[in-house]
C-alpha cells in the first residue's frame, strides 16, 4: 500500500495529514472551514484515496494560512506516498461537468513543480472559503508534491459548482496518474 503521514506545526497552523493512494475514498477531514472540508472530501472520494486531514489554524485571522498550509502538507504526503514512481501512469487528465460548470485538469507527476491556473470566480467566498484561496491551495500542493498542474475552468455560473468541478477534475486526474501501469519509470531520462 502506498501511504504516508506528514505533520507540520507553525505559529499559524498545526496540521496532520495521512493518505493512502490505494484506498477506497474514505475521508476524515477537519480544517475548520466547512466548504474546504467538502472539497477535500470530494478529492478523497473521487481520487479513490483514503485521506485524513486535521488542521488547527488561526481562523480568527482568516482561512489563508490553513488552506495554503494544508496544500503544503498534503503535497508532501502525496509525494512521500508515491515513492519512487516506478510503474505509475504518471500523466492524468480529466474533463468534469458539474451542472452548468465545466472544468479541466491536466497533470504530470514529473517531480517538476509547475502551476497554471485559468479560472475565475464571481463571489469573494463560497461558504467560509475565500475563493482567492482555491488557487493558493492547488499551487501549494503542486510545489510540494512536485507536480506539473494545469487547471482550467472552461465555463460556469455558480461558484460552488465551479470550485467543485475543479477539485473533482483534479481528483480524477490524480487517480489516473497514480494508477499502476507496470514497468519501470515512464521517462526517457531514466529518472523522474
The CATH number that applies at residue 51 is 3.30.230.40
- Residue 39 forms part of a structural domain: yes
What is the domain range of residue 22?
3-178
- Residue 107 forms part of a structural domain: yes
Determine the angle formed by the axes of helices 34-47 and 64-82, rounding to 10 degrees. 20
For the chain, how many structural domains are there in total?
Answer: 1
- What is the sign of the dihedral through the CA atoms of 140, 37, 151 and 146? positive
- As separate numbers, helices (DSSP H) first and strands (DSSP E) second, the chain gives 4, 10
- Residue 187 forms part of a structural domain: no
Check: CB of residue 25 under 8 Å from CB of residue 44: yes
Q: What digits encode the pLDDT tens for the residues 71-128?
A: 999 999 999 999 988 889 999 999 999 999 999 999 999 999 999 999 999 999 999 9
**pTM score above 0.85:** yes
Determine the angle formed by the axes of helices 34-47 and 159-178, rounding to 10 degrees. 30
Q: What digits encode the pLDDT tens for the residues 59-68?
A: 898 899 999 9
Q: What is the pLDDT of residue 26?
A: 98
Amino acid at each position: 500500500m502506498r501511504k504516508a503521514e506528514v505533520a507540520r506545526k507553525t505559529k499559524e497552523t498545526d496540521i496532520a495529514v495521512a493518505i493512502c493512494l490505494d484506498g477506497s475514498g474514505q475521508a476524515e477531514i477537519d480544517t475548520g472551514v466547512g466548504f474546504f472540508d467538502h472539497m477535500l472530501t470530494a478529492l478523497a472520494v473521487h481520487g479513490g484515496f483514503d485521506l485524513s486531514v486535521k488542521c488547527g489554524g488561526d481562523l480568527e485571522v482568516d482561512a489563508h494560512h490553513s488552506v495554503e498550509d494544508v496544500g503544503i502538507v498534503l503535497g508532501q504526503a502525496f509525494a512521500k506516498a508515491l515513492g519512487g514512481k516506478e510503474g505509475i501512469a504518471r500523466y492524468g487528465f480529466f474533463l468534469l461537468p458539474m451542472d452548468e460548470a465545466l472544468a479541466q485538469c491536466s497533470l504530470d507527476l514529473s517531480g517538476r513543480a509547475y502551476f497554471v491556473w485559468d479560472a475565475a470566480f464571481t463571489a469573494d467566498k463560497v461558504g467560509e472559503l475565500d475563493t482567492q484561496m482555491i488557487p493558493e491551495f492547488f499551487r501549494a500542493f503542486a510545489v510540494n508534491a512536485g507536480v506539473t498542474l494545469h487547471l482550467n475552468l472552461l465555463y460556469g455560473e455558480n461558484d460552488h459548482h465551479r470550485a467543485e468541478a475543479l477539485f473533482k477534475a483534479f481528483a480524477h486526474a490524480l487517480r489516473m496518474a497514480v494508477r499502476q501501469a507496470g514497468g519501470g519509470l515512464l521517462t526517457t531520462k531514466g529518472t523522474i
